[in-house]
Amino acid sequence: MTATSAAEGIAAFLDLSGPVADALASGGPVVALESTLVTHGLPYPANLEVARAAEEAVRAEGATPATVAIRDGRVLVGLGPTEMESLATVRGARKASRPTLAASLVAGGWAGTTVSATMLAAAAAGIRLFATGGIGGVHRGAFGGAGEATLDVSSDLGELARTPVAVVCAGPKAILDVPLTLEYLETQGVPVVAIGTDEMPGFYSRRSGIPAPASVADEAEAARLVAAHDRLGLGSGVLLCAPVPAADELPLEVARAAIARATAEADAAGVHGPALTPWLLARVAAITDGASIRANTALIVNDARVAARIAVALAPLRPEVRS
């Protein structure tokens, strides 16, 4: 049977863990977590540590974590400890996004789900909040500039435009063209909201030097905004941005220099396509002697905590429990 909507189609591939199924059935707060940052974004064992710590941070706030990943043709929503370990250590895991979702399911084995694929799974499962590190966006040079246009724009942006899930991140990844990413999201009708600051959080760094399109004071206000956006039925997501904790940030100048070098090296090496983001993250980690990994880990855990607080505040604002 051909499904008539992504929610209906993906629902047939979902395997919810016991705790996630229970939480959803009772209308409790649930936070989806993605897994490409585990399979492609961070090296072992930092990847396993952050996956566990992000789940712990969600639980500590009274919500249920639901890490999403693909295994053997099924979309798992909620992983047990053994599954988490396999995901973090398996070699050759695929990177599943909207364009590669079908291939990742057909291939068998493990795939990490990117922001776009995780949003699709969350929406199909009835999960409203989702935490990641940094969303994908418009890569530098995507629309030309010094060289030829690459048109490398992450499918994360199209997903935010068409799937009603609120995504908490520490800003678009700093390896991107952040101003163009914000323009693209505005064109696509996606609210971009910074929490507790007027500036866009800069992923590895608290600051970016770029004004945020909108701001809220705290998680409670963010929850009210998400509830209002939901009631409008616009069908799109919301992007909520929380800065990396000060103790673990990369100073903005250090991050900028490392990214400039990594980007030039990627150009020279001809790296492009889905391999580009993981390649740049790994190069920045090497150039900063691992300092970027510490920042990346801290911001992911912080985003999970913030998303859980919003999910808890949102639960009473949304009495209509999905059946």
Partnered with residue 96 across adjacent β-strands are 113
Q: How many residues contact ligand PSU, by CB under 6 A?
A: 19
320: annotated active-site residue: no
Calculate the CA 54 to chain-centre distance: 12
Give the tokens for residue 203: 């992923």
Strand duo 110-113 + 129-131: pairing? unpaired
Q: Does 296 bind ligand PSU (CB under 6 A)?
A: yes
Tokens of 319: 């009495």
Q: In one letter, which amino acid is 12?
A: A
Q: Is 177 in the site for Mn ion (CB under 5 A)?
A: no
Region of 57-65, 152-160, 185-193, 219-227 interacting with ligand PSU (CB under 6 A): 152-160
Number of residues that bind Mn ion (CB under 5 A): 1
What is the C-alpha to C-alpha distance for residues 291 and 7, in angstroms, rounded to an integer? Answer: 39
User: Considering the complex, what minimum distance in angstroms separates the CB of residue 134 from ligand PSU?
Assistant: 5
Please indicate whether residue 95 is annotated as part of the active site: no
- Could you tell me which stretch among 24-32, 151-159, 184-192, 294-302 binds Mn ion (CB under 5 A)? 151-159
Instruction: Please tell me whether residue 114 binds ligand PSU under the rule CB under 6 A.
Output: yes
User: DSSP readout, 21-83?
Assistant: HHHHHTT--EEEE-SHIIIIIS-TTHHHHHHHHHHHHHHHTT-EEEEEEEETTEEEES--HHH
Nearer to ligand PSU, 169 or 313 (CB): 169
Residue 187, phi then psi, degrees to nearest 5: -60, -40
d(CA 291, CA 297): 10
| The only residue of 136, 141, 164, 201 in contact with ligand PSU, by rule CB under 6 A | 136
Of 304, 285, 198, 290, nearest to 244 (Cα)?
A: 304
124 lies in the site for ligand PSU, by CB under 6 A:
no
Selection from ligand PSU, Mn ion, none that 36 binds (CB < 5 to 8 A by kind) is: ligand PSU
Single out the residue of 152, 156, 249, 303 in contact with Mn ion (rule: CB under 5 A).
152
* Part of the chain binding ligand PSU (CB under 6 A), chosen from 52-60, 154-162, 193-201, 211-219: 154-162
Nearest CA to 17 out of 83, 93, 73, 63 is that of 83
Q: Quick one: which segment of 23-31, 148-156, 215-223, 240-248 binds Mn ion (CB under 5 A)?
A: 148-156
40 contact, one of ligand PSU, Mn ion, none, CB 5-8 Å limit per kind: ligand PSU
Least distance (Å) between residue 156 CB and ligand PSU: 5
How far apart are alpha carbons 276 and 185 in whole angstroms?
Answer: 21
- Please report, as residue ranges, which positions from 41 to 60 form the binding site for ligand PSU (by CB under 6 A): 41
Closer CB to Mn ion, residue 89 or residue 150? Answer: 150
User: Per the structure block, which two tokens stand in for 80?
Assistant: 């047990």
| 296 in Cβ contact with 42 (< 8 Å) | yes
Residue type (1 letter), 201: P
> Is residue 67 within 8 Å of 79, Cβ to Cβ?
yes
From the candidates 34, 55, 61, 219, give the one annotated as an active-site residue. Answer: 34
Catalytic residue, chosen from 55, 95, 159, 173, is 173
Write out the residues near Mn ion by the rule CB under 5 A: 152
Write out the residues near ligand PSU by the rule CB under 6 A: 34, 36-37, 40-41, 114-115, 132-134, 136, 154-156, 274, 277, 281, 296, 300
Residues identified as active-site: 34, 173
